[in-house]
A and B are shown apart, each in its own frame.
Chain A
Amino acid sequence: MAMTDVALLQLIRVKGLADEAAVAAAVGQSADAVQAACLAALSGGLLTRLPRGLRLTPAGRERLTELIAQERAGLDAEALDAAYEDFCAVNQELKTAIAAWQIRDDATPNDHTDPGYDARVIERLAAFDARAAPILARLALLAPRLSRYGQRLSAALERVQAGDHAYVARPIIDSYHTVWFELHEDLIAMAGRTRAAEAAAGRGA
C-alpha cells in the first residue's frame, strides 16, 4: 500500500522534525517510497528541509488539518469516540508504568541498578501491551493506517525485552512512550478534539 499523505504529514507533525530514515522506519515503508513521497511534499510546499530534518510548513499544517477532517468525515464517529474512550481508559495505566520505570516506589529516581525492579516494570509493560492489543485492533479496523501504531509498539516492546532499555521512554526514538504518545496525538486530532481540552479534562497532558 502506498503511503498516504495523511500518515506522512501526521508523523512529521507529531515528531516536530524528522529525517527520511526516521519516517521510513516509523511508517514501515521502503526508503525509496518515503523519499518519493517526501520530495512530492517538499515541492508541493507542504514540507521544508531544515538542517536537522523535515518540518511541516504552515501550508503543510493546513493540508493536514483538511486531510484529517476528510478522513474523519468518512469514519463512524460513534465508533471512533468509543475507541478513543477505551484508549483513555488505559492511558493512565501506561503512564503510571512509564513513571515507575523512572521513579521508584519511594519517590527516588530509578538508577537502574536493581535488575529485579526493572524486570518487574518490563513485565508490567508487557502485560499492559497485551491488554491494549484489542483496543489497537479496533482502532486499526476503524482506520487502517492506525494499524502501524500497534506494530511500532510491539517493536518497541521487543527491543526492551531484548535488553535495549532506551526503548521504554526515550524521546525522539520510537520508544514505547514515544509511539503511544504519537498515537494519542493522532487520536485527539482524528476525534476532532484538542490537546489543551483533553489535558484540562485530565485525559493526559
Chain B
Amino acid sequence: MSVGVIAAPVDPWVLPLDGSQELSHELVGGKAWSVNRLAALGIPTPPAAAMTIAACRVYLSTGSLPEHAWEQLLSALQAIERASGRTFGGSTRPLLLSVRSGAARSMPGMMDTVLNLGLNDAVQSALARESGDSGFAADTRRRFEADFLNTVLADPQGSVPADPWQQLRKAVHAVFNSWHSARARVYREHQGLSHEAGTAVTVQAMVFGNLDDRSGTGVIFSRNPASGEPLPMGEWLPRAQGEDIVSGRRTPQPIESMQAVLPGPYRDLLAFTRRLEQDARDVQDVEFTVEAGRLWLLQCRSAKRSARAALRLAVSLCEEGLISKAEAVQRLTPEQVRSLREPRLDPDALAGALQLAAGTAACPGLATGQAVMDSESAVERGEHEDVILVCRTTSPEDIHGMLAARGIVTALGGATSHAAVVSREIGVPCVVGCGEAVLELLKGRRLTVDGQGGRIFDGLVRIAAATPPDDPDLRRFTAWAREQEAAPPSLLAALQAAT
C-alpha cells in the first residue's frame, strides 16, 4: 500500500500468475495465489492472470471496473495467448478461458465460475477441426452455454453473446457480482466473515479433461485427510471436466486406477503433490486435469481435515522435520482437541459406506437409527427403538418428535432454520437442507447421521471410540504444548481434559 497524497500513476488491477513475483491472498485471493505458486515452483499450470480484490471493491461500489482495469486484462490475455500458443476468439487453435472467483478466505462453491469461455460458432468449428472430434467441440459448447446462461445471465432463456470479449467482460462482472449473491452472504454470515472484503477473478487458459481417452480430471490429497495416514488419496474421472466430479453426476474412481491408464501423469502427479506438501509444510488438496496425456495442476490449498487427522499430521510433520514443535502446537485448535474426545465414524467403515445425502451440518454428533418420516411416528417408534426423524422442514409442533429422535434430517432450510436451532438446543445430531429427494430416498432405511460432516449414510456405519487419553500422538502433542510458553491457555485446558 503506497503512503502519500499522490496515488501511484497506474494501479495494477491485473497481475500475471506466472510466478515472477510473490503475491498475497489479500491481493489476488487463494485460488490465484496457488496458481502463481505452482508457476513459481515450475509445476505445470495453464497460463493465467488475476484481476485483484481491490478492483472488485471498486466495481461493487461504483458499478464499473476501475479505469485501465479492462485494458490491463486484455494485455494479460495477450500474454496468456503467447504462453499457450493460442488465440482468444481465433479460427485456428482457439484459446478458451476459465473465469473463476477467489476470495482471500476460502468460500467453496459460494461464488460463480464460468468454464470454456470464448466459444461461438466459428470457434466451435475451429475446436472441432483441431481435435478432429466434433462431439468434443459440441460437448464443450454445451457446457459453456449452460454455465453462461445459469451463472452470468441467470436466465436459462437468455442468449449468449457471440463476441468472446463481451463474454469475458460479462463473466468478470458476474464473478464480482456473485460476491453479493444470497448464498455467499448467508455463508459469510454463518462463518463470521466480512461482507466488505470482495473477490478476485482468475482468468486461466482452459485445458480439457473431456478431450479424449487419455484425458481426465480429479482431486488428490497429499495424505489421507480423514485419518492423517501418510498415503496420498484421491479420485478422478476419465474423460470429464471438474464439474462432473463436483456435481456428483458421475462416480469418480480411486486415484490409483489412473496408474494403469496414464502412468506418466500419475507418477508426476504424486511427485508434484509431495513437492507442494514440502513447500507448504502442510497436507495439500490439489485439483488437476490431464489433457491428451499431459498433466496440469489447476489449484492447491491446505486440506480440510478431521480432528484426528489434524493430531496425526501435527505430530508426523514435526517428526519428519517439516515443522517445528512450536508450529505443530499451532496446528490444532482447542475445539479440535475437544472433539478428539467424541466418538467418530470409523475411517475404514467409512471407506465402504454408501453416502446417501449431504446437507448443512446443523448440530454435531453421530446418530444411527431407523428413518421415520414424521414426528408422530418418531414419538411412537422412538419409545422402543432408535429413530432418525426425516422431514421436509420442522416447526414447533414437531418438537416432541425431535426429542424422541436420535438424529434429525431435513430436506429444506439452512443453518438458522427451526430444525437447526432446536437441534442445537436439545443436542440432537442434525443435518438440514439435504434436498427434496431425501424424503423418498431415506424412507424405510436404517441410517447413520454425521452431524459434524453434514452427511447421511446408508445403514449403521461403525463408530470408532474417542481418542483414548494414552494415545501416543496425543501424549506427544500434549508434552510439546506444555513446553511452549506461547501455547494458548484454552488449548492447554482442552489437552488437560483430554489426557
* Chain A interfacial positions (CB closer than 8 Å to B): 13-17, 52, 92, 95-96, 98-99, 102-109, 169-172, 177-178, 181-182, 185, 195-196, 199-200, 202, 204-205
Contact = CB atoms under 8 A, between A and B. Distances in A.
Which of A104, A170, A199 lies at the interface centre, i.e. has the most chain B CB atoms within 10 A of its CB?
A: A199
A140 B16 CA distance: 61
Contacts of A13: 397
Given A102-B425, A172-B399, A200-B412, 15 more contacts: A14-B395, A95-B417, A95-B421, A96-B189, A104-B192, A105-B191, A106-B192, A107-B192, A169-B425, A171-B425, A196-B393, A205-B394, A205-B410, A205-B414, A205-B432
B396 A95 contact: no
Closest CB pairs A-B (n = 8):
A205-B413, A105-B192, A95-B416, A16-B397, A205-B417, A205-B393, A199-B412, A99-B416
Contacts, number: 94
Interface in B348-400: 364, 375, 392-400
Contacts of A196: 392-393, 412
A185 B182 contact: no
A181 B396 contact: yes
- Max chain A CB contacts within 10 Å: which of B182, B190, B398? B190
Contact of B422 (A14, A171, A202): A171
Interface residues of B, number: 37
Nearest to A53: B400
B405 to A, nearest CB: 13
Contacts of B169: none
A196 B412 CA distance: 8
Contacts of A204: 413, 417-418
Contact of A98 (B191, B393, B421, B432): B421
A109 B361 CA distance: 12
B333 to A, nearest CB: 8
Contacts of B333: 108
A14 B396 contact: yes
Nearest to A107: B191
B335 interface: yes
A16 B396 contact: yes
Given A107-B191, A171-B422, A171-B425, A185 B396 contact: yes
Given A15-B397, A105-B192, A172-B399, A205 B418 contact: yes
Given A177-B421, A204-B417, A185 B395 contact: yes
B46 to A, nearest CB: 34
Contacts of B82: none
Nearest to A178: B396
12 contacts: A14-B397, A15-B397, A96-B416, A98-B416, A99-B421, A102-B421, A109-B364, A181-B418, A185-B397, A200-B412, A204-B417, A205-B413
A199 B392 contact: yes
A132 to B, nearest CB: 16
B331 to A, nearest CB: 16
Contacts of A172: 399
Contacts of B393: 195-196, 199, 205
B416 A16 contact: no
Given A102-B424, A195-B393, A200-B412, A205 B419 contact: yes
Nearest to B395: A185
A195 B391 CA distance: 12
B489 to A, nearest CB: 12
Nearest to B334: A108
Contacts of B191: 105, 107
A108 B426 CA distance: 17
A116 B65 CA distance: 42
B421 A205 contact: no
Contact of B375 (A16, A95, A102, A169): A16
Contacts of A195: 393, 395
B398 to A, nearest CB: 7
Contacts of B80: none
Of B375, B395, B422, which is in contact with the most chain A CB atoms at under 10 Å from its CB?
A: B395
B402 A171 contact: yes
A15 B189 CA distance: 30
B390 to A, nearest CB: 14
A16 B419 contact: no
A17 B398 CA distance: 9
A103 B190 CA distance: 9
Contacts of A95: 416-417, 421
B397 A205 contact: no
A45 B331 CA distance: 63
B190 A99 contact: yes
A171 B375 contact: no
B256 to A, nearest CB: 34
A103 B392 CA distance: 24
A33 B69 CA distance: 73
A29 to B, nearest CB: 20
A40 B42 CA distance: 83
Contacts of A99: 190, 415-416, 420-421
B399 A171 contact: yes
